[in-house]
């Protein structure tokens, strides 16, 4: 089980989250859990009879690429499982949520339960993503990168391959996360740098190359 990280700038791993509105809804609403929900629906998409399994894991940002990934999964024989929770990052942290006015304990409970489920499932692929803006200025870039890398390390031990959809290097924190992923030799795709109109097509092309699904 992943532990709660600590850092000189973050007491006991608690990271305040900014107030925020809902994420864009690109998956069925019950497949992006709210802050207070911890029970995970099945949320199976892609090729339901596929011989391979792909998990889409992270906070609400991971759902923004859902349509392209769902199409990719259908085309390449993956059963796609969506595991997403509002404002709950991949990083091994215990956020303080301003909307709830308290520690976001549901995030920790849900994340650990889903990591255990992924361990048991041993999927072929995990696609992970998070918003690197979530902790604001309360977590150092190094801490956030290290805690992201900790969770990704666990995912790598369970899955055949892990691909991280990053926020990109436009911020110091995003750059720190990318460096940590590179050190860990984790494949990453920076979709935020692509034109919105081409994002789906470019993402599926990148995945085909990374996952060896080229025709």
CATH of the domain at 41: 3.40.50.2300
pLDDT given for residue 196 in this prediction: 83
Rg over CA atoms, the chain: 16
Give the three-state DSSP class for 93. coil
Instruction: State how far the alpha carbon of 54 is from the alpha carbons of 78, 82, 86, 101, 120, in Å.
Output: 6, 9, 20, 34, 14
Domains: count for the chain: 1
Give tens-digit pLDDT for 132-141. 876 666 678 8
Per the domain annotation, does 215 fall within a domain?
no
Strand partners, 125: 54, 161
For the residues 2-25, what does the mean pLDDT come to? 35
User: pLDDT by residue (tens digit) across 35-63?
Assistant: 999 999 999 999 999 999 999 999 998 88
Question: pTM for the complete prediction?
Answer: 0.84
Question: How many residues make up the chain in this entry?
Answer: 215
Task: List the domain range (segments joined by +) for residue 22.
Answer: 11-210
Answer whether residue 84 is part of any domain. yes
Question: β-pairing, 52-58 with 78-85?
Answer: parallel
């Amino acid at each position: 089980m992943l532990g709660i990280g600590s850092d000189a700038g973050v007491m006991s791993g608690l990271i305040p989250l900014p107030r925020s509105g809902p994420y864009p809804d690109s998956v069925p609403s019950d497949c992006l859990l709210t802050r207070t929900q911890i029970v995970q629906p099945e949320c199976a998409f892609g090729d339901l009879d596929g011989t391979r399994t792909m998990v889409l894991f992270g906070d609400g940002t991971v759902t923004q690429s859902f349509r392209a990934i769902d199409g990719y999964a259908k085309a390449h024989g993956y059963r796609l499982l969506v595991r997403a929770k509002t404002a709950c990052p991949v990083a091994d942290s215990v956020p303080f949520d301003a909307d709830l006015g308290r520690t976001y304990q549901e995030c920790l409970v849900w994340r650990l339960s889903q990591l255990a489920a992924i361990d048991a499932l041993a999927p072929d692929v995990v696609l992970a993503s998070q918003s690197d803006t979530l902790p604001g200025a309360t977590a150092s870039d190094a801490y956030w990168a290290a805690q992201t890398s900790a969770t990704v390390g666990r995912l790598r031990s369970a899955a055949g391959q892990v691909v991280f959809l990053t926020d990109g290097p436009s911020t110091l924190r995003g750059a720190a996360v990318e460096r940590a992923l590179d050190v860990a030799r984790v494949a990453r795709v920076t979709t935020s740098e692509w034109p919105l109109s081409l994002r789906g097509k470019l993402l599926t092309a990148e995945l085909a190359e990374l996952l060896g699904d080229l025709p």
